[in-house]
Amino acid sequence: MNSTKTIGIIGGGQLGQMMAISAIYMGHKVVTLDPTKDCPASRVSDMIVAPYDDVDAMRELAERCDVLTYEFENVDADALDAVVKDNQLPQGTDLLRISQNRIFEKNFLSQKAGVKVAPYKVVTSSLDLENIDLSKNYVLKTATGGYDGHGQIVIKSADNLADANKLANSCECVLEEFVNFDLEISVIVSGNGKDMTVFPVQENIHRNNILSKTIVPARISDELAKKAQAMAVQIAEKLELSGTLCVEMFATSDDIIVNEIAPRPHNSGHYSIEACDFSQFDTHILGILGLPLPKIHLHQPAVMLNVLGQHMDKARAYVKENPSAHLHLYGKLEAKHNRKMGHITLFSSEPDTIAEMGEGMDF
Ligand code: AMP
C-alpha cells in the first residue's frame, strides 16, 4: 500500500503553511486552496488560487487530493459537503458548523460535551436584554462572524445597554456572564477518530484581543491543569475528533470554564514545534490520516512571543541578541500593523523575565 498521500488544505496562511511543512517531512504532498497567490503556504505546496466560495475550485482540490483539511473555521460547510467523497474530510463538517456559531458551540459544549461554560442565553433582539440583572457583568457576542473580540460588547452598567441593544437588534447573539478569571489558558488536543492525545496547558496573554505571549506550562495548580486537559479530551471524544482542536478556557482560583473551541491548530500551540516531541501540526496530519498518535512530551518550559507587523525589526534584533530563540517568519509580503507575521519560541522557566514584542512600544 502506498502510504504517501496528497493532502488538500483549504487556507494557505501560517497555519496551512505549518501543516504543510509537517506533512511534507512525513513524505506527503500538499495542495493548498487560497485566494492569494503568494500566501505563506505557497512556499511549501502546490496552489489552487481561487476565492473560498468558488465551488469548482473546491471540487478541483477534492479531485486532486486523497484527504482534505482546513486551517480556519469559516469554510462553507455546505459547499464542502457537496464536493467531498466518502471519508475524504476526516474532521467532518459538523465540527465546522459547531464552531461557526456560538449558539451551537455553547449548546454543544454544555449539553453534549458536558463541560462548564459561563452561564449564557441566546439573544435574538433587544427585548431579550430588557430584564437582565445588572448586578452582574456580561459579554454580548454575535453568534456568527465574531473573532478576536470583534462583535463583542461588555455590559457592566446600564450605560452599555444602548450599544448592546443595537448589536442585539442587528443579528443573533449570545449573552454570557462575565467571568472574573485569573488566567486565560488553552489546551491543544488531537485525535485520529478513535484515540486522543493532549498537549500541556498553555497560559495566554492577549493585547488588544490579539495573542501576545504564551507560557507553557500554564501557572496553575497540577489539579486544575489535569482538569483542563481532561475537559479538552472529553470534548474531543464527544466529537470523535480527527486532527487538532484548540480549547480556549478561563482558569479561576478553583475552576476551569470553557470559552470556545477552534477546530484546527492554534496560535497558542506554536511553541510545540520546538518545545514538544511532536508539534500540534504533526499530530494534526497524523490524526487526519487516521494514524496512531504519540503521547506528547514537553522537553522544557517554553515561552512563545507573537511577532506582529509593527514588531518585525525588533524580532530580528531580538534573535541576534538571543541566538537560542527560534524565530519563525511566515513569509507574508506586507508587514501590516497587527498582522501576524511570525513568532519566537524560547525555552525558559522564568516567563516573567521575557518581554513581549510590543512591550515598550504601543503594542
Ligand atoms: P472570544 O472571542 O470569545 O475568544 O473572546 C475574546 C476575549 O474576550 C477573550 O480572550 C477574553 O479575554 C474576553 N472574554 C470573552 N468572553 C468572556 C467572558 N464570558 N468573561 C470574561 N471575559 C471574556
Got the DSSP string for 330-358?
---S---TT-EEEEEEEE-S-GGGS--TT
Q: Where does residue 166 fall: left (phi above 0), alpha (psi -120 to 50 degrees), or beta otherwise?
A: alpha
Q: Is the CB of 260 under 6 A from ligand 1?
A: yes
pLDDT at position 148 is 65
Tell me the β-bridge partners of 49.
Answer: 34
Pocket test of ligand 1: the residue of 204, 259, 260, 261 to mutate, having most ligand atoms within 8 Å of its CB, is 259
Pairing of strands 302-308, 202-207: unpaired
- Taking alpha carbons only, the member of 53, 52, 38 closest to residue 9 is 52
Residue 296 has what DSSP assignment? Answer: P
Cα–Cα nearest to 160, from 138, 131, 184: 138
Per residue in 235-260, pLDDT tens?
Answer: 999 999 999 999 999 999 999 999 99
β-bridge mates for residue 203, sequence order: 185, 215
Give the other-Cβ count within 10 Å of 156's Cβ: 11
- Give yes or no for residue 206 CB within 6 A of ligand 1: yes
**Nearest atom, ligand 1, residue 179 CA:** 20
Answer yes or no: is the C-beta of 25 below 6 A from any ligand 1 atom.
no
Mean pLDDT, the chain, whole residue set? 96
Burial category of 298 from C-beta neighbours within 10 Å (exposed 0-12, middle 13-18, buried 19 and up): middle
Residue with the smallest CA separation from ligand 1 atom 5 is 149
For residues 299 and 275, is the Cβ–Cβ distance under 8 A?
A: yes
Nearest CA residue ID for atom 18, ligand 1:
178
With contact defined as beta carbons under 8 Å apart, do 304 and 218 qualify?
no
Q: Is 176 in the pocket of ligand 1 (CB under 6 A)?
A: yes
- Are the C-beta atoms of residues 136 and 168 closer than 8 Å to each other? no
Cell of residue 330, nine digits: 511566515
CA distance 321 to 190: 35
Give dist(CA 65, CA 61) in Å, integer.
Answer: 6
CB of 170 sitting under 6 A from ligand 1: no
pLDDT band at 3 (very low <50, low <70, confident <90, very high): confident
Number of H helices, E strands in the chain: 10, 17
What is the signed CA dihedral for 342, 215, 146, 35, rounded to 10 degrees? 20
Torsion over CA: 237, 238, 242, 244 (sign): negative
The model's pLDDT over 274-318, given as tens digits with 9 standing for 90+, comes to 999 999 999 999 999 999 999 999 999 999 999 999 999 999 999
Q: Rounded mean pLDDT of 12-20? A: 98
Amino acid found at 325:
A
Structure confidence at residue 146 (pLDDT): 72
Query: Does pTM top 0.95 for this prediction?
Result: yes
Mean pLDDT value of segment 58-64: 98
341-359: b (≥16 Cβ within 10 Å) or e: bbbbbbeeeebeebebbbe
Distance 182 CA to ligand 1 centre (A): 13
pLDDT digits (tens, 9 = 90+) for 167-224: 999 999 999 999 999 999 999 999 999 999 999 999 999 999 999 999 999 999 999 9
DSSP single-letter state for residue 269: G
The residue length of the chain stands at 363
Burial 26-65 (b: 16+ CB within 10 A, else e): bebbbbbbbeeeebbbbebbebbbbebebeebbebbbeeb
Q: Give the mean model confidence (pLDDT) for residues 134-140.
A: 97
Query: Ligand 1 pocket test: which of 73, 139, 160 has the largest number of ligand atoms within 8 Å of its C-beta?
Result: 139
Residue 2 pLDDT class (50, 70, 90 cuts): low
Is residue 150 scored above 80 in pLDDT? no
